[in-house]
A and B are shown apart, each in its own frame.
Chain A
Amino acid sequence: MSLIEVDSVSKAFRIPSVRRDTVREHFFGMLQPRKFQRLQVLDTVSLTLRRGEALGIMGRNGSGKSTLLKIVSGVYAPDQGRVNVLAPITPILELGVGWNPELDAIDNVLLIGSVMGLSLREIRRDMDEILAFAELERFANLKLKHYSSGMSERLGYAVAFKAVREVLVLDEIFAVGDAGFKARCEQRYWELRRLGHSAIIVSHNTRIIAEFCDRALLLDSGRVVMDAPAKEVADRYVSSLTEGVA
């Protein structure tokens, strides 16, 4: 059974020749019309994630991986095509979740957990485990603005791994924390897989894609150029880097 179906999704951004972000800039620039360049980030991309499957996505910088994840997660809207998501998602995009620096860890976990669709009761029930997983029990009442970047990233991954819903969507998995934390994340990932969770993982790391995914896509210039078993895609990605063409 498919949990996520992406059907011929396209996405483009209009890049202006001169960036204008204020009323003042628009007003004084009225007589100097701008030119817009169309940047096609995704071009009729299709994918399917089946229940219990882990799908890897590889590609060079600018190939559209992060945009695809944001569309799947519902952050961006596609210009064309259709995305059907039949299961709740826990997305960890751009190396973490969003934090309010003026709130402590507990309130931030409640906030991001409820944004991800968990009930407050579920989050409170899992709070101790989340803080323990991130090894931040002693700093639970400390405002996030006093956290180091590593601490806040660990907390984000702890939310993803302990308060997970059915599908994990992970951008650059296991790129956070020391060796011990990475090992715990990997161990937890396999636990989740055994319990039947599905995952979409974006990474440049061929070991992670080959080891942690069943199947993978290779993106190049916004198009899917390969959809095959993860090991084959990882090998093709490495060879494309050396050849210069994906």
Chain B
Amino acid sequence: MMNASAGTDLDSRPVRAIADESSRVHRPALGHAGLIWTLVRTDFKARYHGTFGGFLWALLKPLSMFIVLMGVFSFLFASDPTYKLDLIVGLFLWDFFAEGTKTGLTSLHARGYLLTKARVPCWILVVTSISNAAITLAVFCVVIVVFLTGAGRPPSVASLVAFAAYCVALAAIVVGFALASSGLFLRYRDLNQVWDVVAQAGFFFAPVIYPLGILPERYHIYLYLWPPTPIIEFSRAALVTGVVPSTTANIYLLADAAICLLTGILIFRRLSPRAAEYV
């Protein structure tokens, strides 16, 4: 019964009930491994012209930003011996947050050409859209460790494990935001401009280029409400100071990331069934 020349075997996937919307979100990711890999690979290729040189070129933006900020603000915070190390940790984490949320927000719209032509799990289109930012962060994690080691502060294994957990928490926050905003962007097409302004303000609201300690302690709680702030501060504590924050603080951070992710999933589940109608 099968076509010999095309050679495609009929698979034995379960019965699909389109009316059951939950099936769009809850199909196992492993069943889509080929699609996920192809999306990540082609996204990388399209963005960096398929060359490693193109990828290196893209790294120059955050690196040059780091050099400029370090050149300017290390004079301002000359009394802080760890300022440069704090800056590199904060800036690269922020770069992932800013880049991931920006591409995640427009992901469904950008991949609308797939959404309107076949049944495709929307969440895969959103989550894989932040893969380039994640790859960049992975490269910068190595840069951070090299920088710390070069500065005579090699991070301990415990610090690295804690930092890896904070990166995962940040990724969860970015994914949560991307899931929620990608569905909203289809309805509000200037949301990316609004987010650009918020992200710009958020860059200064998070203690990326300044030490949190220069602000009165009573304001810290407000800054910690901005999700990237605890990630950046905890990462600095683990990597630069060498002190992993307390269990209570870590639980707070995980709860923060979980709330962001769950909120994103809930909004996405509400909006995604009709996403193709808005592309």
Interface residues of A (CB under 8 A from B): 13, 21-24, 26, 70-71, 73-78, 81-89, 91, 93-94, 96-100, 102-103, 107, 110-112, 114-120, 122, 125-126, 129, 162-166, 191-192, 195-197
Contacts and interface: CB of A to CB of B under 8 A. Distances in A.
Contacts of A125: 7
A73 B116 CA distance: 10
Interface string B174-203: 000000000000011111001000000000
Given A99-B113, A100-B113, A83 B118 contact: no
A239 B202 CA distance: 65
Given A82-B17, A100-B42, A197-B3, A24 B277 contact: no
Contacts of A118: 8, 34
A112 B19 CA distance: 24
B119 A73 contact: yes
A121 B217 CA distance: 58
Contacts of B41: 107
Contact of B119 (A74, A81, A99): A74
A159 B45 CA distance: 22
Given A77-B274, A114-B38, A122-B7, 8 more contacts: A26-B188, A77-B18, A83-B19, A84-B15, A111-B114, A126-B7, A163-B6, A166-B10
8 shortest interchain CB distances as A-B pairs: A74-B119, A98-B113, A196-B1, A22-B190, A102-B46, A114-B35, A83-B18, A98-B117
8 contacts: A26-B188, A73-B119, A77-B18, A83-B19, A103-B42, A111-B114, A112-B117, A165-B10
A111 B124 CA distance: 13
B266 to A, nearest CB: 18
A155 to B, nearest CB: 13
B16 A74 contact: yes
A166 B35 CA distance: 19
Nearest to A122: B8
Interface size class of chain B, counting residues whose CB lies under 8 Å from the partner chain = 35 or more
Contact of B15 (A76, A86, A120, A126): A86
Given A88-B10, A165-B10, A195-B2, A78 B18 contact: yes
- Interface-centre pick from A76, A89, A114, A196 (highest chain B CB count, 10 A): A114
A78 to B, nearest CB: 6
B226 interface: no
Contact of B115 (A75, A77, A82, A196): A75
A120 B34 contact: yes
A70 B276 contact: yes
B10 A164 contact: no
Contact of A110 (B3, B4, B38, B187): B38
A164 B119 contact: no
B8 A73 contact: no
A17 to B, nearest CB: 17
B273 interface: yes
Contacts of B7: 122, 125-126
Nearest to B125: A115
A97 to B, nearest CB: 5
Given A111-B42, A191-B3, A23 B190 contact: yes
Interface string B245-279: 00000000000000000000000000001101100
Given A75-B119, A98-B117, A103 B10 contact: no
B120 interface: yes
B218 interface: no
A74 B53 CA distance: 40
Contact of A117 (B11, B116, B273): B11
A61 to B, nearest CB: 19
B61 interface: no
B6 A107 contact: no
B114 A112 contact: yes
A91 B19 contact: no
A111 B18 contact: no
B35 to A, nearest CB: 4
Contact of B42 (A76, A89, A107, A129): A107
Interface in B5-49: 5-8, 10-11, 13, 15-19, 21, 34-35, 37-39, 41-42, 45-46
B188 A22 contact: yes
Contacts of A23: 188, 190-191, 194
Contact of B277 (A13, A116, A122): A13
B193 to A, nearest CB: 8
